[in-house]
Structure 1
Amino acid sequence: MKKILTKLAFTVLSLGSVAVAAQKSDLGAWYMYFGNNKISKKLNLHNEIQYRNFDAVGDLEQLLIRTGIGYDLTENNNNVLLGYGFILSRPYVNGEKTENIEHRIFQQFITRQKFGRFNLQHRYRLEERFLQDDFRMRFRYMVGLNIPITQKEMLPKSLYASVYNEIFLSFDSPVFDRNRVYGALGYVINKNMRIEAGYMNQLQENRNRGQIQIGFYNNIPFNKN
């Protein structure tokens, strides 16, 4: 099973590198907070805020708030999660700023593997999207790698490289929704916190869109143990 997951992961990463080939591109910025906090030995609380801009700051494209409860099937791994997302979008339509609200329910499974310095993660996510005048479903698969640079492990005060590729598949036609490819440098602040800064390219409807991303990750446990 591990060999199958690994082959799938590197296949998707390879496809992602092809997907960033040249289409029209413009640059935005995403500022992100991710919390994954233990509330018991098996349960965790996921909490997330993403502030996405058309430019560096000030021209809001999307505000995304997600939360959920997860359960580890094995010790600190193989996590299943049920969550909810609130998404406020402000796209331009014919040059005019508009506003849309989406409520989203999602189910996901995350599994992690380690090969020497390589910390590999697979995330499978199913989304039920309640838009203002529509209902849609979507499947997402993400594979990511964290690779420590200045130390052999992801230890405090160490630098690391982070890459991922994520493909989105719609239950409607067309099936292909979008693909995201990401690369960043990160810094491990302590055993429960780290920060990343990088670049993500999104291919959607034959158009590439670049995003500068800054993310903060908080894993401080809420339980006493």
Structure 2
Amino acid sequence: MKTRLLAALLFLFSIHCTSQFAPEKHLGSWSLIYANHQISEKWSILSGFEKRNYKTFQNYNLSLYSLGINYKLSTKLKATVSYLYLDIDRTIATDTDPNTEEHRFYAQVAYTPNIFQSPFTHRFRIEHRNINSKGVLTLLNRARYRLKTKILLNKQLYLTASNECFFNFKGKLYTENRLYSAMGFKASSNCSFEVGYLYQYINHMHLDRLQIGLFLKTDFRKRTNHS
């Protein structure tokens, strides 16, 4: 109980500290929905959609669509490969330029041991980014590392926090970091909802973002067993 109380205080402290960074002028928003579809004991399909705005629920920044497949190597280790398509408006101002398109492929592994009775997930990802900006094609590669934890408060409420670092293979090594903390509500074993704060450092900009996420699970093994 003391451990959970301490973790909750640290969680609230992280929100206070991150809010002290010099932010961009506007509070933006990230709205996202992700679903994990279990198809066998070890295999599952991951699908997702994100919409990001420069201002809260307005002034379009980008849309992201993703589709991937997970393989469970053990109870604590999972591998994923995925494809993402992004449509990006790179400026907050009104313009007539065509949006940037990105086709992204990644491979990752996630390791989740329990520390202090809470899961801590180490996620390592390699990304290959094919970017088309005004007809100019660019290939970029980078690595990402994220540490994430989840702290249960009761059967339905939980806290979650994460920090993710981005490392480029070419050019400046370190240009982005994301620090996230949120309150979550587990509506059922297959549905949870999170509302949180995301601080994003990217290319010398300090951005504050409201993040709202819906996370779903489906299990096609049950349908197979009943058919």
| TM tier relative to shorter chain | 0.7 to 0.9
Say which of 181, 184, 187 aligns to 2:185.
187
Match of 1:30 in 2: 30
Residue type matched to 1:80 in 2?
A
Q: Secondary structure at the match of 1:52?
A: strand
2:19 and 2:164 map into 1 onto residues whose CA distance is: 12
Q: CA deviation at 1:93?
A: 7.6
1:168 and 1:21 map into 2 onto residues whose CA distance is: 22
Instruction: Determine if the alignment matches structure 1 residue 146 to structure 2 residue 145.
Output: no
Residue type matched to 2:215 in 1?
Y
Instruction: Determine if the alignment matches structure 1 residue 137 to structure 2 residue 135.
Output: no
1:146 and 1:59 map into 2 onto residues whose CA distance is: 31
Say which of 188, 204, 214 aligns to 1:216.
214
Match of 1:89 in 2: 88
Q: TM-score normalized by structure 2?
A: 0.83
RMSD: 2.3
Is the Cα contact below 8 Å between 1:193 and 1:220 reproduced in 2?
no
2:216 and 2:23 map into 1 onto residues whose CA distance is: 35
* Farther-moved stretch of structure 1 (54-63 vs 189-198): 54-63
Deviations 1:43-97 (A, max 9, x none): 010111001111122321010011111111114x311111100000012187635
Say which of 159, 163, 179 aligns to 2:161.
163
Q: Secondary structure at the match of 1:223?
A: helix
1:170 and 1:95 map into 2 onto residues whose CA distance is: 30
Q: TM-score normalized by structure 1?
A: 0.84
Q: CA deviation at 1:118?
A: 1.6
Q: CA deviation at 1:177?
A: 2.2
Identity of aligned residues (%): 25
Residue type matched to 2:41 in 1?
K
Match of 2:5 in 1: none
Is the Cα contact below 8 Å between 2:61 and 2:92 reproduced in 1?
no
Kindly tell me: are residues 51 and 61 of structure 1, through their superposed partners in 2, closer, same or farther at Cα, counting changes over 3 Å?
A: same
Residue type matched to 1:62 in 2?
L
Deviations 1:111-145 (A, max 9, x none): 11223442211111110000111000010111111
Instruction: Determine if the alignment matches structure 1 residue 113 to structure 2 residue 117.
Output: no
Deviations 1:10-63 (A, max 9, x none): xxxxxxx98876334231011100112211000010111001111122321010
2:164 and 2:91 map into 1 onto residues whose CA distance is: 25
Is the Cα contact below 8 Å between 2:54 and 2:92 reproduced in 1?
no
Is the Cα contact below 8 Å between 2:18 and 2:199 reproduced in 1?
no
Is the Cα contact below 8 Å between 2:68 and 2:81 reproduced in 1?
yes
2:28 and 2:197 map into 1 onto residues whose CA distance is: 10
1:50 and 1:18 map into 2 onto residues whose CA distance is: 26
1:162 and 1:87 map into 2 onto residues whose CA distance is: 26
Report the count of equivalent residues: 204
Residue type matched to 2:168 in 1?
S
Instruction: Determine if the alignment matches structure 1 residue 172 to structure 2 residue 176.
Output: no
Residue type matched to 1:208 in 2?
H
Kindly tell me: are residues 38 and 173 of structure 1, through their superposed partners in 2, closer, same or farther at Cα, counting changes over 3 Å?
A: same
Q: Secondary structure at the match of 1:40?
A: coil
1:40 and 1:105 map into 2 onto residues whose CA distance is: 24
Unaligned 5+ runs, structure 1: 1-16
Is the Cα contact below 8 Å between 1:20 and 1:181 reproduced in 2?
no
Kindly tell me: are residues 191 and 82 of structure 1, through their superposed partners in 2, closer, same or farther at Cα, counting changes over 3 Å?
A: same
Match of 1:70 in 2: 70
Is the Cα contact below 8 Å between 1:19 and 1:179 reproduced in 2?
no
Say which of 204, 207, 224 aligns to 1:206.
204
* Farther-moved stretch of structure 1 (50-59 vs 197-206): 50-59
